[in-house]
Structure 1
């Protein structure tokens, strides 16, 4: 399993070396994904708040 992880990361490292814009593309996509996930978590928290308030 570790060997597969190393090979996976080496593949991405070579893509970043070959195409300097790839790091910008990848980081932008990662930022959008993280923002989406965090927004979902925030909405779940907002939905849970009224239930907590009525239980108290």
Structure 2
């Protein structure tokens, strides 16, 4: 399966009502995406780390 073929295959279906607007919901979604990435899941962690470090500056 190519997870990059559609956005739903990559991150699942987005339900705005269930997602909320909190950091916790973002991190839960990131955890789901990381599991779908399998062995390359560490790349998402690296990206989020850089993003959050930049947001704090």
TM-score by length of 2: 0.40
Larger radius of gyration: 1
**Structure possessing the higher relative contact order (Cα contacts under 8 Å, 6 or more residues apart):** 2
**Greater helix content:** 1
